Amino acid sequence: MKAIVYRDNGGPDVLQLVERDLPAPGPGEVRVRVAVSGVNPTDWQARSGAAGPTRFPEVTPHLDGAGVIDAVGAGVERSRIGQRVWLFLAAAGRPTGTAAEFTVVPAEQAVPLPDQAGFDVGAALGVPALTAHRALTVAEDGPRRLRPGALDGRVVLAAGGAGAVGHAVIQLARWAGATVISTVSGPEKARLATAAGAHHVVNYRAGDPAAEIRAIAPDGVDIVAEVALGANLALDLAVLRTRGTISTYANDGGRPVELNVVQHMVLNARLQFLVLYTAGPRARAAAAEDVAAAVRDGALPVGEEHGLPLVRFPLERTADAHRAVERGVVGKVLVDVTA
């Protein structure tokens, strides 16, 4: 089979297209013929060494993807063979991700993909959708699970709604019944956030964004899903309701975070840091179940008309796919692996 590998950390040029033997699933595992592989910032960070040195002699990258189960290991029902699935955290703690014609994952990390959902949808779920679910389910007064109606009466602020996680936050929050506000940096990203389903879009670079958000939500925002905490914390606190939650999954731009302790105390604010790797198996399993339900309801479409442009590369150009993600291309980067 064809696979992308790297043996040492470094730039995109360390990625090589090679031929490898077909892997066999072990107990509790499934083998998936990968159709589409999704690329996330964490993939290039792992490759570059920004997330620490590689732990394996050879690594096939990428956490997310979609395809069809073609073999199962002991303990897995054979009826799963032929099942369309989406994959998450495929390369987490393992050397074999989805940038290959076949990959092997624990059976619970291959989630059934409804027939009406294409492989592009499946490959775009994983890290963005599960992160968005976590961001929306950590509030002290909020739900621990998402379903239609779970966020009725709540206001969610999706910072950076044109990004992959922000896009998923908008879609999941709207599916769960929230009023969704998104902050963006300009008209083009405003168009994408609106297409994703945001009820209100605010340009944080123009006018008085805090006043605009407070005009929409006079009592304040219940949950902020934050992508750039250092840059946006002052705005978040200006619009957060008492006992509200700021769920931060990144700090784009790298600006240092300075906390006004008294302001947080007076608000009884919750500042929740999150990453999927250490969220725990129970939280990840719940997120996968709820995201799967949203997919069945048609709530997580992708494509420019749905607010998430798709940027595609063939398997042999995976290095270019990584370059696109590193430079911050707008949309979801996908690698087409097999027909």
Q: Are residues 238 and 146 in the same domain?
A: yes
pTM (predicted TM-score): 0.96
Q: Are residues 41 and 67 in the same domain?
A: yes
Q: Are residues 150 and 249 in the same domain?
A: yes
Q: Are residues 100 and 184 in the same domain?
A: no
- Confirm whether 76 is domain-assigned: yes
Q: Are residues 138 and 259 in the same domain?
A: yes
The amino acid occupying position 115 is D
User: Of 277, 295, 319, which residue is a domain's last?
Assistant: 277
- Confirm whether 283 is domain-assigned: no
Q: Are residues 99 and 114 in the same domain?
A: yes
Task: Name the residue range of residue 256's domain.
Answer: 128-277
- Confirm whether 85 is domain-assigned: yes
- Confirm whether 286 is domain-assigned: no
How much is the pLDDT for 34? 98
Q: Are residues 133 and 111 in the same domain?
A: no
- Confirm whether 303 is domain-assigned: no
Q: Are residues 313 and 181 in the same domain?
A: no
HSE-up (13 A, CA, CB side) for residue 170: 30
Q: Are residues 152 and 266 in the same domain?
A: yes
* Alpha-carbon span 14 to 229, nearest angstrom: 32
Token readout for 109 is 């990390």
Q: Are residues 150 and 267 in the same domain?
A: yes
User: Of 234, 258, 277, which residue is a domain's last?
Assistant: 277
- Confirm whether 294 is domain-assigned: no
- Confirm whether 284 is domain-assigned: no
Q: Are residues 177 and 226 in the same domain?
A: yes
180, β-bridge pairs: 156
Report yes or no: 197 and 180 within 8 Å, Cβ to Cβ.
yes
Roughly what angle, to the nearest 10 degrees, separates helices 187-196 and 164-175?
40
* Alpha-carbon span 245 to 8, nearest angstrom: 39
Report yes or no: 3 and 63 within 8 Å, Cβ to Cβ.
no
How much is the pLDDT for 203? 96
Q: Are residues 169 and 83 in the same domain?
A: no
- Confirm whether 282 is domain-assigned: no
User: Of 277, 299, 318, which residue is a domain's last?
Assistant: 277
Q: The domain that contains 164 carries what CATH number?
A: 3.90.180.10
Alpha helices in the chain (DSSP H): 41-48, 119-123, 126-136, 164-175, 187-196, 209-216, 229-239, 261-267, 281-296, 318-326
What SS3 string covers 128-154?
A: HHHHHHHHHCCCCCCCCCCCCCCCCCC
Q: How many independent structural domains does the chain possess?
A: 2
pLDDT in tens, the chain (339 residues): 999 999 999 999 999 999 999 999 999 999 999 999 999 999 999 999 988 898 999 999 999 999 999 999 999 999 999 999 999 999 999 999 999 999 999 999 999 999 999 999 999 999 999 999 999 999 999 999 999 999 999 999 999 988 999 999 999 999 999 999 999 999 999 999 999 999 999 999 999 999 999 999 999 999 999 999 999 999 999 999 999 999 999 999 889 999 999 999 999 999 999 999 999 999 999 999 999 999 999 999 999 999 999 999 999 999 999 999 999 999 999 999 997
